[in-house]
Homo-oligomer: A and B are copies of this chain.
Amino acid sequence: PGKKVLIVYAHQEPKSFNGALLKIAVEELTKQGCSVTVSDLYAMQFEPRATRNDIVGQLHNPEAFNYGVETWEAYKRGGLSKDLVEEQKKVQEADLLIFQFPLFWFNMPAILKGWMDRVLVQGFAYDLSKVYDGGLLQDKLSLFSFTTGGSQEMFSKEGIGGDIRYVLWPMQHGIMHFCGVKVLEPHICYAPENVSEEKRKEMLAAWTQRLKTLWKEEPIDCSPEWYFK
Once the chains bind, are A12 and B52 in contact (CB under 8 Å)? yes
Given A105-B174, A167-B169, answer yes or no on A48-B49 (Cβ-Cβ < 8 Å): yes
Task: State the number of copies, please.
Answer: 2
Q: Is A48 in contact with B114, judged by CB distance below 8 angstroms?
A: yes
Q: Is A144 an interface residue (CB 8 A)?
A: no
| Cβ 8 A contact of A64, one of B13, B67, B162 | B13
- Flag A35-76 by CB within 8 Å of B: 1 or 0 each: 000000010010011111000000000011111100000000
| Shortest CB distance A101–B (Å) | 11
Bound: A175/B52 CA distance, A: 29
Residue from B42, B110, B170, B178 in contact with A117 in the complex, judged by beta carbons closer than 8 Å:
B110
Which single residue of chain B is at the shortest CB-CB distance from A45?
B49
Shortest distance from the beta carbon of A38 to any chain B beta carbon, whole Å: 18
Q: Is A132 an interface residue (CB 8 A)?
A: yes
A-B pairs with beta carbons under 8 Å apart, 28 shown: A12-B50, A12-B51, A12-B67, A13-B64, A13-B65, A16-B65, A42-B49, A45-B49, A48-B114, A50-B104, A105-B117, A106-B169, A106-B170, A106-B171, A106-B175, A107-B107, A107-B170, A107-B174, A110-B111, A111-B114, A113-B113, A132-B160, A162-B173, A166-B166, A166-B228, A167-B169, A169-B169, A170-B170
A89 within 8 A of B: no
Q: Does A220 contact B (CB under 8 A)?
A: no
